[in-house]
Structure 1
Amino acid sequence: MSETFAGKSALIIGAGQNIGRRIAQEWAARGARVAVADISRDGAEDTAEILRKSGTEAVGLHCNVLDEASVAATIDAAEQALGQLDIHMNNAGILSGGNPEDIPLSEWRRMFDVNLFGMVRANNIVVPRMIARGSGHIVNTASFAGLYPFAASRIHYAACKAAVVSMSQNLALYLKQFGIGVSCLCPGPVMTTSVDGMKHFSENYVMRAPGSHLQVMSQQETAKVLSDAMEASRILVPTHHEAWATLIEVATDPDAFVEKKHREFLAGDPGRPGITQDVIDSLNA
């Protein structure tokens, strides 16, 4: 059993499906009790039921991250059901796309309100409790889009995810003195259904992706990458190891990197990753 997870209580906000559900299963397999929260009460309960059938103590909860009272009630309910939270994960998020000139201000606000301030609402409650106890672990979900420039077809999304990365790193710096860990999961191309319901604000635009040198990863492997990184007390957690070389390239000459991505796009390469049949099949595993 893992010391990071065994006998610990965890809450994941945004675990009614996809990556969040797989992370809940991975943490449960490593010995954690898991509270599952989601805007979809049915989705949260479905995930919790999967965990209970595997022998894990779990509870499903409704949570609207736009509503401070809902977030507070979710955290309180999780602690009432499972005890004080040792691990808290902010995984709720939305995605939309389009050329920047077509993205209305209202969508910028919606994107930041869910993807960034949804985390802030939860962390403002969880962090003081962890500080008082002198232990805990916070996990925030960002994206490759927040690490380096490629997402010209969803700049508003990339901007809020970059804010999540910065928030997480600085929070890690501050909370280290209190014995509290912080990890920022940065998914690259991962096999999910998240794009199915995304809004599109431009017609016939090209969805730019993080790079054709990458391979789409399964949700199961993503959950393992995060969990292993938490056990190793890592702060920044890209799903793909190739991200580190890219970050070095960007830091060495950011202008040259942008120019390279521009040339690739003009040459007909929008950066779509490769995908194997095994990964496609894993979606229903």
Structure 2
Amino acid sequence: MTEPADFDHDLATQVLIELYSEIPPPSKLVTGHFHSGGDYRVVRPDGVGSWYLLYTAGGTGQYLLGPDRLTLRHGDLVLVSPGTPHDYGTVGTYWESWWAHFQPRREWHGWLSLPQAMPGLSYVRLTRSSETDRVVSAFDRLHRDAQRAGLSPTGDTELNLLEKSVATELTMNGIEEVLLVAAASLRQNTQHLDPRVQLVLDAIRTDPARPHTLTSLAGIAQISVSRLAHLFKEQVGDSIMNVVVALRLQRAAELLGATDMSVAQIARAVGFESPHYFSRQFGRRFGMAPTSHRSAVRNPELELY
């Protein structure tokens, strides 16, 4: 660790910033629990090839993405997609965080479509003690299971292959539990949405492949386009068209894993007119091309770290 750094210091002065060069390979599952001081910062301009789940259990942290910043406090859960730049660290003197780098199981993609706070970065604030306590418990268990499976440098190397396999599955189950808590929290919160926003959400979720436009959705809600756009962003935390695209890409990921349809066929089936545009958006969302995603979900490889 170098000398303490101001989190807002220009990236040109890297001498004051800990620049992490050890980046987990995309196929490796890695977990951790940090109690970080005021000089803690991670900068990875190109991101990583895996998904990154980060939960703030105490203190204050901050995530920067271009000109945008997101302050992280107790109960904040962040999900960063592959390829999204990493620039985060402690604000003040203390930050406690749990984290995991992972590749999702195929059936998880519905839970990865959380509200985006920044491009490539989803964010959920858990406010109920039942949620925050469960997330901390899940992270604690999955971290210990990861150590038993040898998925961390301090892992147990004495277990046989069957025991390591079971411990690895338990680690993945813990990540799944965290994602489910976040998804359930969002569903509970949306029960109190404005009825007009709920109508629009229902229409999009029922058939995301339809040629939805702001005008057509405003007609469903029977309010002006500008009013709907403002109300939707305020209550859902993301724009209407971002939600439409996210749901289409989620469905595309499912079809890639479950069918032999071509990329062009899947693009059309989920509502994209241009296969090239679809592939570009898919890459931004999942950090890999559609064909690479299909290979990954059909031939998963989990290496020990």
Same fold by TM (over 0.5)?
no
| Bigger CA radius of gyration | 2
- By percentage of residues, which structure has more helix? 1
For normalisation by structure 2, the TM-score amounts to: 0.25
TM-score (norm 1): 0.26
